[in-house]
Structure 1
Amino acid sequence: MGFMTTTSKNAPRSITDPWPLIGRAAEVEDVCARIRSNRSVLLAGPAGVGKSRLAGEVLDELAREGVQTVRISATTASSNIPLGVFAPILPTTAWAGKSGAVNDRADLLSRCATTLVEQYQPARLVLLVDDIHLVDDMSATLLYQLADTDRVTILATYRTKETSPEHVVGLWKNELVDRLDVEGLDTGHIHEMIRRALGGPVDDATMAYLAGKVQGNMLFLRELVISLYERGTLRDDNGIWRLQGEFEATDRLVELVTSRIGVLTPDEHTLMAYLAFGEPLTLSEIERLSTLECTHQLEQKGLVVTEMGGSDIQLRTAHPLYSEVLRGSLPLLRSRELVRRLADTLEHGGPQTDQRLMRTAEWRLLGGGGDPHTMLAAAHVTRWHYDFGLAERMVSAVLNEEPTNFDARILRAQLAGLRGNTRESARLLSSLADSARTADEVLRVAVARLDHRAIYAGTVEEGLGVAYEAERALAGTPYVNDIAARRAALILGKEGPAGAVAVTEGLLSEATGSALVWACMPGAYSLARTGRIDEALDAAALGHRVQLELDEPMDWYPCMHRFYEAEAHTHAGRFDRAEEISRTEYRAAVDHQAIEAQALFCWQRAKTVTECGNPHRAIRLLLTAISIYRQLGRPQFVHFCNYYLAVAQAMAGAPLEGRKYLADLDSSGFPSTWFMGVDPIHSSGWVNALSGDLRRAHADFERAVAEGGRIGDLVGAIAAAHSLARTGAPRRARELCTSLARAIEGELVVARVAHIHALDSADPEELGEVSERFERMGATLLAAEAASDAAPIWQERGDRRRATACRLRANVLAGKCENPVTLSLSGADWSSKLTAAEKETALLAASGRSNKVIATQLSISIRTVENRLQGVYVKLGIHGRHELPGVVSEYTETN
């Protein structure tokens, strides 16, 4: 067992380093204040809640103040020894006395108390007793006596629901100590603790898993994170910590949980093992497997809990980790015996939920028996729970019994693709295509090939060939529209939104069932890109409704239509509504552990970074999406996300990182497509602009406008024209946007055009109105930029009050969206004083380029560079090149 290797700068030095104390500051101060006032304190709470850590922090705080402190800990072993807990701190002389005398006990207690106090005189002693519920009776009596004096202040931790000596209970019963009940940390503090321990961002699904598994037990949390980290299941995937792989406990975690469970009788252990594999179990099921007497005994020990489930009482283990550890610690033969009996007893009883179906199949995999039909049904369910390894084992079991089972063969091919084995998936699907006989089989193989080879992997030309071949084979059947709908998505990738709309328009009015559902996806997306927002929203709503009415599930979730709905709202300028939809769907995906939907809505929430800002949030969301798409074997989607990640990095103040992502994308060999419209070109423009290369940035933006108009991505084209204006070329942007804007619906296009016109005409009042319009629609970054753009114009007109007000408004808005770096926000005070040529030259010089390099890059003479820079120095009131980085601080990155 060893630590996993990671190259991330966020990797912790050691996951076992002392964890930070989170969420306990108020409690630490409260306890310290009580002790300073000579009040003893007892911290009570369930096991693992963090009592000992809290008490230790209090003791450390008091020690830093010069208070005399001592810590002792009671254990199960010391509880059988009189005064055993005090053995480490009492000298042997304290124990000497006459043996056998009636007053030996009282004499011994008196000597121990006197010796203890005298050791630390004249200072007052603060004595921490950890796990005071475990002390022996004589130690409890001594502590009671000490608490009843003014010479020792006691700080103790106490585990609730434990049997304790009478004098321990008497401490708070007789008000000799202040009893404070320590509760578990809330979810937010648990998440912060995990982030601090790992040293970097953690995806929300992993947070939810960890918090659910430990249920507030901080000791379990620490050991669980260590266990997952050391086994390599908890990984730093390119900057985001995520769970990938199966749980496997370390010896440390096993020992900790085993000690919590304690000693069990053989029957109790068997029932706990049944629960570990099969929970929840109803009382009637338990009667068929064991005895209710064991149930009562385990409930009294606090190892199981009961709850109502339908019409019967259900039992679970009292903590999720009890089951995890028990399953992993049982010998294989014993596990096989237990799960075989579970399956034989329960397979055909009770409601057959997806969860029960999966568990029964797992039992059969380990214990044997079962029928292929049930195993295959479980494999399909398991695939949609994203446990691809388990699903493959189930499919293999089916194919061992029925080698020609078509359903099992196609699922095996799909699972190979989902696990990233694209060659094996292609081989298996090709073999299936050759053996497909019925129209249904031809359709299913073609659909699988289109999904896994064309859409997931991005091989558009190959996919179109498959689609045309399948349409010919299915001509005259009801299935032909299913293929045509997927072909529309490939047309989107090859020709752009206009081409996809041409294919889907007929399907949206003619197709039914699954074909209509699928047509609504490229249809809604492409209609929105062409500016037909209302029709796009109608298509998304139609697809969602029809899919929910289908009798058979599809390979794409209904939430895909919500993704396209949010997309359309974004293009219309309803950013708040889009965020609401995406956030709701994302939370539902986390709650249901649907990682594909998590990735989808992480991506969607980050796509608006150039309008809404929040680059740091966008980076975290995109890293999560990329990690999941890698896990799902979807390189095409990883490729998509990286374009937005490049922009987010640049706007977060790291243009070099953005340029690196773009360079990697360019060198990846991935085929160029129009699935994202002109967003990739637009992204390149922003990264170049924020790297100081305005000439290349403006060329990118102009190309995005031209290509957007050609392929029908009108919203992408107008966004690029707007970016051209935002980076210093409003006149050219105004020329380009005039013909585009008329065909696009929604408030956003109107505001974009108004911003372009206001920049071109240097109209500060119009810029102010545009800023307010952007703010109302949720485009906070655009609102901040428009306000910032107005400030220098008011300043030049001599209206300092309005200039100051605009700067203040811009600063407030920028703060709301994580202070993104853009030319308008970062350079308002200096760039407004320079011509476009001077600004371009200044940015290049500030980034460290020599005059010769600048001259070559801009295709001008070195003398021209020198003249421009002299003009820059005069206008900015600086004395030379060395002062430029301080003025243009956000643009000092070098290529």
Structure 2
Amino acid sequence: MPTENEQLWAVTARQAELRAIESALTDRGGILLTGTTGVGKTRLLAAALRRVAAEGRTVVAVGGAGGPETGCAENYCSLTECLDRLESVRRHSDPARRTVVGFDDAHLVEESAAHRLYRLAASGRVAVAATAPRDAALPAGVDKLWVERLVERLEVRPFPRDLVSAILRRRVGGPVDSGTLERLWATTRGNALILHELVEYALADGSLRRVDGHWHWDGLPARPPERLADIVRLRLRDLAPEEQELVNVLALVGQVEYGLAERLGLARAAETLDGRGLVQIEYGGRRVGIRLTEPLTGAVVADRMSGLTAQRLRLQLADAIEATGARRAHDVVRMATLRMAAGRVPEPAVLLAAARTAAHRRDYPLTEHLCRPLLGTPTADAPATALLPAGAPPAPPAADEPAADRDTTAGTATAAPAGTLPVSAAGAAPAADRTDSAWFPADGCPEPGRALRHDVARASLLLGRALAGTGRHQEAEDVFARVFADRAADLLTALPADEVVAAVRDRADNVAWGLGRGTDAAAVVDGLPDGLGPDGTGLRHGFHAVLALLADRPDDAARAGRTVLPGEPPDSPVVQHLLPPAALALAELGHPDRALALVDRHTHDLAAWPDDARLRCLVAVARCAFAQGDLARVTATLDAIGRSDGPDDDLRRLQHALLRSRLLRLLGRPGEAVTLLRGASALPVRPDWLATPAWTLAQLAGALAEAGRPTEALQTLVEAQAARRTSPAHPQADDAVLLEHAVVLAHTGDRSGAACRALEAAQRAAARPASALAALHLAARVGDAPRAAVRAARLADGAGSDLMRLRADHVTALARSDGEALEEVSARFRTLGAVPLAAEAAAQAARAYRKDGRRRASRLARAAGTRLLTEAGCPLPPWADPQEHRQPARTAPLTSREREVAALAAGGLSNRDIAARLVVSVRTVENHLYRVYEKLGITARSDLGGALQGLARHPAGTVVRAA
């Protein structure tokens, strides 16, 4: 009998497909399931046959399709034997009464049997339920079944990201942290078989475990589990030699350009592997990249690859990159890492150039890996060998360390383990065994020369940045402090001003965000030496403007912009540092129009800015455009971020996802926003003044609530609050988390609690009128317009934001229950492009008219709202739905804290885990759950999820605020 887990993977996750199969077997002559290996065709077929048999239909199976517990009348060894028995079956005009024939691997059926099956199906005697690999050559008889529409053809696809999330939560019986969901998705790409095997293995070995109430998985072990590796290799067992060669290359380096594959003689292999779905082609400008479809395949192949094969392929690929000119900066990184992994030490200058590029791309583990050899500071992952140690030549390898054993099974180049380089068998680095006057003094002494000291300083600064980027903040500060104390003269005399300024900024960011010491960070910036020109001046002004924002003093940041920027030429270093925080400060003060004008006045050639500065400016422009209500400019800015010529790094992906998801939510597409925010929440980006992990998770919680997933929303909100407790203070982000809390409560039925949270956010944002008005707008929409109206009008008075004025007018119209004013607000939201808000205002106008007895006006407003909802493709929020206001109160209200406790309990957390999450006692949790059970009329913990879902759809009157 199928286990409960097998039922979960096959049935729970495939309800839509099962309905399609049942419909095809009932209304037509059957179904042909196609798809790639591992998507779950066989289990889906078995589940469908069980359902059909349970409904009383006669089911016969071939080759044990569906398993022994399918409920089949008979099981046959071959299709021919089965058809021999079915020749005498009566014809039925009703497809729902025909005998169902189920079998796997239709592409292996003999031609004669396929033609007989076709004749039986065409004559109405049998219905067919079969599977076949996608794009496989089928027997003519099977092809005729779907060509003549006797059976439906259904492609079974990998699980989408959100479904993987739902499956995993149900399997483990509790909430799963966002990083784990993203890692599992990235590893499996929704392949049902691999996902199933990986999760079961991770549960068995304890790598998928509970941490602080959430299930957590760090990723694949260094060596993939045996059974999982065997499953992956099933798809690779019949590869041609050149196909296997390309798979080996991709397993080692992750991605190669099609031109390199051509140079290696593997272009034809790329085409055939693409046809089989084993590789995917990625287009980026003029370059065409090739990578393995499933990342797990690369890990398995690299793990089993011969060390000599790996060394040969790495060197061949490095030589091919060099032969093509290595025109991109990243080509130097790839050449260096490939040769390092093959035991060949690059020139010190090459190592340093590669490290700088890796740091620029924010690949911090690789940056550290490249810097360590230059500094002679090994890690535990590799022997203690440096390219050019400060006082002596490299040490020889240990006598028991054969050269063939060194770093021959590393994975992709960008995932190389941090550490130092192996040396040659002779005991010296192959490319660094000479005395060069550029690196050593002329007398041949092994003391480093001036160029070496300068590059050691550069490498030290890069190492500090890498350590900060990987979360080792105190180590990073120790490195920075040592460099600035011991090599200050080298920094000032050898490095360009922009490099020194960048290093100081890295150190200040690490102190402020990593160590949480804003005052010390300001001292770092103020300690900049003189003589750094506009770069140093710009960093001072820009960093202090950021600190003013973080201290909730936007006036000071805006004043700095007004004072300093007019005297600066467009695009100057001072502009690059100061303009983004100054513009955001103006937008927060209610003047996004001035902020956008300031940007336009001081950015004549944004494309020429450094990548980081350009990204910060574009993010500021997008946020100012949101504050102004200029969605066209938001869209244009998002396009500019997406097509940026800078490195496709995690920070850019994060900001693009955050901004785009905000736009999607405004347009009524929260489901798409959830997908983006899930990916964003898993990106390894350290917090800064533009985004924090708690802020990202809170936005995900809000999007989940808007998408109709209240339990997930509440669980994610608790995760966001936990992240907030471990982050440095950030008033704007903290208030945004509180506002998303209000959104979640409003969508889960606690409108009173939502209004209280929104009003609290407005009070905390007193120094930021734009944020305060956004919070008041939400409070008014969910039911507390009178308390919000007076302050909203005052905040909008004199504001330069169309959106702020519109929000204030909406609040006033709600407070007065003014139907005409609400219709005007609806029209203005429609002009703005915020169609869901326009539909909401129209529904509120209809309710106001009905309250005044103006039934015709109410019907017209309601019809207008319906048209707007159709245009937006989304439902009304629960507080604006007229049906919600007619629901009788059936249960006592839940407090906000009771909802949080219930959501966490529904997610599978124990009382002790809930207490730890919410920082309360276990007894308090027990008392809350007792009251929840009593109010909802349930008796079991397993009933909480459904009860909360129903409560979100039909809230029971007014919900009281927790004490």
TM-score, L = length of structure 2:
0.64
- Are the counterparts in 2 of residues 496 and 677 from structure 1 also a CA contact under 8 Å? no
Paired residue type of 1:66:
R
* Equivalence for 1:423: 474
The answer (yes or no) to whether the contact 1:848–1:892 under 8 Å persists in 2 is: no
TM-superposition CA deviations, 1:141-182 (whole Å, max 9, x none) = 566667667888776555578799xxx557758999989896
1:727 to 1:481, Cα distance in 2 relative to 1, 3 A: same
CA contact (8 A) 2:24 2:152 kept: no
Q: Deviations over 1:500-557 (max 9, x none)?
A: 122123443315444322222112211222333233224445677644214xx4445x
Q: How does 1:784-823 map to 2 (within 5 A)?
A: 786-787=841-842, 790=845, 794-795=849-850, 797-803=852-858, 819-820=876-877
Using the alignment, how far apart are the partners of 2:593 and 2:831 within structure 1?
20
Q: Deviations over 1:578-619 (max 9, x none)?
A: 663576578779999643233324444566899888888777
Q: What residue identity is the alignment partner of 1:433?
A: F
State how far apart, in whole Å, the 2-side matches of 1:695 and 1:683 are.
12
Residue 326 of structure 1: SS of its match in structure 2? Answer: helix
- Separation of aligned partners in 2, 1:306 and 1:733: 54
* Matched AA of 1:372: P
Q: Is the 8 A contact 1:789 1:828 kept in 2?
A: no
The one-letter code matched in structure 2 to 1:464 is A
Q: What code does the residue aligned with 1:571 have?
A: A
CA shift for structure 1 position 194: 3.3
Partner of 2:59: 68
Q: 1:309, 1:731 → 2: CA distance? A: 53
Report whether the alignment pairs 1:473 with 2:448: no
Q: Secondary structure at the match of 1:70?
A: strand
Aligned to 1:493: 550
Secondary structure, counterpart of 1:751 in structure 2: helix
Q: CA deviation digits over 1:724-767, x for unaligned, max 9?
A: 76677767756545664343213223323434544565544223
- Closer, same or farther in 2 for the Cα pair 1:216/1:742, shift >3 Å? closer
2:579 matched residue in structure 1: 520
**Amino acid in structure 2 at the alignment position of 1:508:** L
1-structure distance, mates of 2:884, 2:761: 20
1:197 alignment partner AA: I
Alpha carbons of structure 1 residues 777 and 62: separation in structure 2 relative to 1, 3 Å = same
- Secondary structure of 1:261's counterpart equals coil
Partner of 2:488: 436
Residue from 539, 544, 552 that aligns with 1:482: 539
Deviations, residues 592-649 of structure 1 (Å, cap 9, x unaligned): 9643233324444566899888888777766654443666799971354567678778
CA distance in 2 between counterparts of 1:173 and 1:57 reads: 25
Query: Aligned-pair distance for 1:385?
Result: 5.1
- Looking at structure 2, the residues matched to 778 and 398 of structure 1 have their Cα atoms a distance apart, in angstroms, of 55
Which residue identity lines up with residue 314 of structure 2 in the other structure?
V
1:531 aligned partner: 590
Within 1, Cα distance between the matches of 2:824 and 2:193? 55
Q: Tell whether 2:368 aligns with 1:392.
A: yes
Q: 1:43·1:180 contact (CA, 8 Å) conserved in 2?
A: no
Query: What is the distance in 2 between the residues matched to 1:374 and 1:795?
Result: 75
Over 3 Å counting, the alpha-carbon distance change for 1:44 and 1:311 in structure 2 is same
Contact 1:457–1:636, Cα closer than 8 Å, also in 2: no
Q: Does 1:460 align with 2:518?
A: yes
Write the distance in 1 (CA, Å) between the matches of 2:646 and 2:104: 37
Decide whether aligned partners of structure 1 residues 480 and 821 sit closer, same or farther in structure 2, where only a CA change above 3 A counts.
same
Alpha-carbon separation, structure 2, partners of 1:604 and 1:312: 27
Aligned residues between the structures: 788
With structure 1 as the length reference, what TM-score do the two structures score? 0.68
Q: Evaluate the alpha carbon distance shift between residue 464 and residue 781 of structure 1 in structure 2; reply closer, same or farther with a 3 A threshold.
A: farther
Task: Pick which of 232-241 and 715-724 moved more.
Answer: 232-241
Match of 1:197 among 150, 167, 183: 167
Q: Judging changes above 3 Å, is the alpha-carbon distance between structure 1 residues 823 and 232 closer, same or farther for their aligned structure 2 residues?
A: farther
Counterpart contact for 2:29–2:150, Cα < 8 Å:
no
User: In the aligned structure 2, how far is the partner of 1:251 from the partner of 1:184?
Assistant: 30
Q: Deviations over 1:117-157 (max 9, x none)?
A: 5999999865444335556xxx7656666766788877655
Deviation at residue 219 of structure 1 after TM alignment:
5.5
Distance 2:763 2:274 in 1: 70
Candidates 337, 343, 347, aligned match of 1:368 = 343
C-alpha displacement at 1:431, in angstroms?
1.7
Q: Secondary structure at the match of 1:628?
A: coil
Q: Measure the CA separation in 2 of the matches of 1:427 and 1:764.
A: 64
Q: 2:561 aligns with which of 499, 504, 514?
A: 504
Aligned amino acid, residue 375 of structure 1: L
Unaligned runs of 5+ in 1: 1-10, 75-86, 92-108, 832-841, 850-884
Provide the C-alpha distance between the structure 2 equivalents of 1:459 and 1:469, rounded to a whole number of angstroms: 15
Distance 1:313 1:792 in 2: 56
Matched residue, 1:878: none
Asked whether the 8 Å contact 2:49–2:59 carries over to 1, the reply is no
- What is the correspondence of 1:201-240 to structure 2 with a 5 Å cutoff? none
Alpha-carbon separation, structure 1, partners of 2:723 and 2:289: 53
Contact 1:721 1:733 in 2 (8 A): yes
On the 8 A contact 1:615/1:820 being kept in 2, the answer is no
Query: In structure 1, the residue corresponding to 2:14 is in which secondary structure?
Result: coil
Q: Distance in 1 between matches of 2:896 and 2:286?
A: 74
Tell me the C-alpha RMSD between the 2 structures. 6.1
Q: How does 1:557-572 map to 2 (within 5 A)?
A: 558-572=614-628
Distance 1:324-1:661 versus aligned 2 partners, 3 A rule: closer
Mapped to 2, the partners of 1:693 and 1:147 lie a distance apart of 63
Counterpart CA distance in 2 for 1:58 and 1:844 is 41
Give yes or no for contact 1:590–1:598 (8 Å, CA) kept in 2: no
Change beyond 3 A, Cα 1:12–1:731: farther
| Equivalent in the alignment of 1:262 | 237
How far apart, in 2, do the equivalents of 1:311 and 1:599 lie? 25
Residue 260 of structure 1 aligns with an amino acid whose one-letter code is R
Structure 2 distance, partners of 1:790, 1:538, is 36
Pick the aligned partner of 1:339 from 314, 317, 324.
314
CA shift digits 1:434-455 (9 cap, x unpaired): 2232443642331112232225
Partner SS for 2:551: helix
| Higher normalized helix content (fraction of residues) | 1
Contact 1:12 1:199 in 2 (8 A): no
Q: Which moved more, 1:363-372 or 1:603-612?
A: 603-612
Q: Where does the alignment leave 5 or more consecutive residues of structure 2 unmatched? A: 66-73, 92-96, 376-385, 390-452, 900-952
Contact persistence 1:436–1:442 (CA under 8 A): no
Offset, 1:656? 8.0
Q: Secondary structure at the match of 2:354?
A: helix
Q: 1:564 is matched by which residue type in structure 2?
A: A
Contact kept in structure 1, 2:650 and 2:683, CA below 8 Å: yes
Match in the other structure for 2:458: 407
Q: Which moved further from structure 2: 686-695 or 419-428?
A: 686-695
Partner residue, 1:855:
none
Larger Cα Rg: Structure 1 or Structure 2?
1
